[in-house]
Amino acid sequence: MALEGTRQTRPRGRRRAGENTRAALLDAARVEFTERGFDGATVRGIAQRAGMDPAMVNHWFGGKDGLFVAALQLPVDPEDIIRRVLDGEPSQIAERVLRTFLSVWDTNGGGAFTALVRSVASHEGAARMMREFVSRMIFGRIVSVVAPDRPELRTALCGTQIAGLAMVRYVIRLEPLASADHDTVVAAIAPNLQRYLTGELTTGSATC
Amino acid sequence: MALEGTRQTRPRGRRRAGENTRAALLDAARVEFTERGFDGATVRGIAQRAGMDPAMVNHWFGGKDGLFVAALQLPVDPEDIIRRVLDGEPSQIAERVLRTFLSVWDTNGGGAFTALVRSVASHEGAARMMREFVSRMIFGRIVSVVAPDRPELRTALCGTQIAGLAMVRYVIRLEPLASADHDTVVAAIAPNLQRYLTGELTTGSATC
DNA sequence: GTCTATACAACGATAGAC
DNA sequence: GTCTATCGTTGTATAGAC
């Protein structure tokens, strides 16, 4: 007799239209990632919670990483950002990072990113996902290429400058930064961000 | 005959204990400051909403500024911060600012400030109050003393670094910054903050 | 009939138990 | 050192939508 309560098998083949397995997978992933973190959550567990096969994660999101990024609901494609940042002069990485973020944020008036900041600030689970995302997928990869030492500290420091810019420019909307054009923002902030990326961390560099 | 509907007079003398005029004044002030901003809100309007005399604002909070700061529910006394920062070597202002914030934040585990960040991120009214508070009372007064040029821009830039540090260290809790001791944080961030306060803004200063 | 969303089985890696 | 369990991932057969 079949164990109907703990069924392990589902009928093969395509579901009826409207079942939307992709969305179900995303919902399950958000629950698992926020509760257990990236490492603690398993593809198999997420798939089971969504009631489908683990292979669906690969089919729809290309793997665990892709599912995680999609679950974060980022208004950007981090792979695109990394690509746009990593090619070019290392001494101008900060400028490219800033220009990339500014162009992405300003295309939709910062609305999507404001929502992201809100959710990160209010939900502990969202904060946890953002924490692991930043340390694992963004600055970790960038800094490991260009940083001379202490990549984790540099990653976190870069996070302070980027998050602070987002807070002041888009959430608090403090002038003149809120309406400043990209060149002004870059000229003001890029040197500081560059110090976090490639500069000397123990001694000051502001006063030569 | 008295206009009972729009009464302008209240019985003189001390109210009965437990009426808690101070709290009523704070509630009214939050509504007015949130809806109209610092300039738009009037002491008379706030007092009227609270159903008492405008002189109570002076008695309880020492003036409009004091009421505004109290309405923000800051876990700090900004006057104390300004005082501790302004006396000493100008080239080490950034370090004193950072040490002051760190000591205040870390005394209660960042809990009160985390709540502040949450409310600023989620409530537009709180964001507005924070915006006006920062530009008017904190960095505006500090920067006007030590900054060579563009005080508003420097104020906003300092805001990015402080807000970003708060986000990363206390809200997102990204390591190693979340558990770093004060000396490490100061050594890493003070040079950048110092550049925002007194450095050159148009050209880079990270690479000497 | 074609396309594709789906389930199943299996593979290599890794970590922990004994 | 070996054994086992579990993980992420891949290849393939199939069932249903179009």
Residues of A in contact with B205 (CB under 8 A): 191, 205-206, 208
Domain limits, CATH 1.10.357.10, in chain B = 78-198
Provide the 3-class DSSP secondary structure of residue B123: coil
As a whole number of angstroms, the distance between CA B22 and CA B124 comes to 25
pTM over 0.85: no
- Long-range CB contact pairs, A107-114, < 8 A, 24+: A108/A75, A110/A166, A110/A169, A110/A170, A112/A75, A113/A75, A113/A166, A113/A170, A114/A170, A114/A171
Q: What DSSP state is assigned to residue A14? A: P
Asked whether the bond before B176 is cis by omega within 30 degrees of 0, the reply is yes
Please state, in angstroms and as integers, the Cα–Cα distance from residue B197 to each residue in A93, A144, B135, B171, following that order: 23, 30, 14, 25
Write the class of the CATH domain A8-72.
Answer: mainly alpha
- By the 8 A CB rule, do B117 and A118 touch? no
Q: How many residues belong to chain A?
A: 208
Q: Is any atom of strand D within 7 angstroms of residue A63's beta carbon?
A: yes
Q: Is any atom of strand D within 7 angstroms of residue A2's beta carbon?
A: no
| Residue of A65, A170, A80, A193 lying closest to B196 (CA atoms) | A193
Write out chain B's pLDDT in tens, 208 residues: 443 444 445 555 454 444 577 778 888 877 776 666 666 678 888 888 888 888 888 888 887 877 777 776 666 677 777 777 777 787 888 898 888 888 878 876 555 667 677 777 766 766 777 777 777 776 667 666 776 788 888 888 988 999 899 889 988 888 889 999 999 999 999 999 999 988 888 754 444 4
Q: Nearest-CA residue of chain B relative to A166?
A: B160
Express each pLDDT in A156-199 by its tens digit.
899 999 989 988 898 888 888 989 999 999 999 999 999 998 88
- Give the list of residues 6+ apart from residue A203 with CB closer than 8 angstroms, or none: B187, B191
As a whole number of angstroms, the distance between CA A159 and CA A139 comes to 8
Cβ distance of B167 and A165 shorter than 8 Å: no
The shortest C-alpha distance from A201 to chain B (Å) reads 5
Q: Where are the alpha helices (DSSP H) in chain A?
A: 21-40, 43-50, 55-61, 64-72, 78-86, 93-107, 111-122, 124-133, 139-146, 151-166, 182-198
Size of interface A-B (CB pairs under 8 A): 178
The shortest C-alpha distance from B51 to chain A (Å) reads 31
Among the CATH numbers 3.40.50.300, 1.10.357.10, 1.10.3720.10, 3.40.1190.20, which is that of B78-198? 1.10.357.10
pLDDT of residue B4: 43
B-contacting residues in A 43-62 (Cβ below 8 Å)? none
Express each pLDDT in A54-76 by its tens digit.
999 999 999 998 898 888 877 77
pLDDT of residue A44: 94
As a whole number of angstroms, the distance between CA B99 and CA B194 comes to 13
Domain limits, CATH 1.10.10.60, in chain A = 8-72
